[in-house]
Chain A
């Protein structure tokens, strides 16, 4: 399985600012995903990021609020823009490799917006 790292691991941000979360994989992967997990809740998919194409966003999530980059097969970023306290959550990156359907997750970024 792929080894996935995320930066930062946690951050406390002020309302109205933006934070960019990085996801790095130790091998080339086909698909990368970004999730949000609010305390005590299950995972909610924000978007799917494929290299060389625009990210595909799920209902309720828009590119202006959560812009995503996928410059190569091992790296992606998620920006949380114009943050509000409702954006406080854990943000998770996951990957899926060609030929397998399971996803492997990074350690997550715990974001608190004050």
Chain B
């Protein structure tokens, strides 16, 4: 069964303290892995798409990496405005554009 597991469920960091969020996936052929950021009361905001193992994408303090079994979202020197829930989703090769979603990691950055 295709599934996505994110860890940890919640992460509290001090401002400037770098860390990583994990997204483990099981899918019968990966078409793409997607990272989103969601602020309270808002829709998810698209961050990155990763297609193949070894691929990396960066945006400001965020860097996403992909292996055959998992993806990491690295946050370097985070600021309080990086506080949000980060969602991971995968799309299988045989899907009709459907995404399989993880439960998310709630990130809190304390000033």
User: Using a CB–CB distance below 8 Å, which chain A residues touch chain B?
Assistant: 1, 4, 31, 33, 41-43, 45, 48, 56, 92, 94, 96, 101-108, 110
Q: Is the CB of B43 within 8 A of A45?
A: no
Nearest Cβ in chain A — how far from B32, in angstroms?
Answer: 5
A42-B101, A43-B87 known; A101 vs B44 contact (CB < 8 Å): no
Q: Is the CB of B31 within 8 A of A102?
A: no
Interface size for chain B: under 10, 10 to 19, 20 to 34, or 35 or more residues? 20 to 34
For B88, give the chain A residue with the smallest CB separation: A42
For A107, give the chain B residue with the smallest CB separation: B43
Which residues of B73-96 are within 8 A (CB) of A? 87, 91, 96
Residues of A within 8 A of B99 (CB): 43, 45, 103
Query: Given contacts A102-B46, A108-B41, could you give 4 more A-B pairs where the C-beta distance is less than 8 Å?
Result: A1-B46, A42-B87, A42-B101, A43-B101
Residues of B within 8 A of A103 (CB): 34, 46, 97, 99
Any A CB within 8 A of the CB of B42: yes
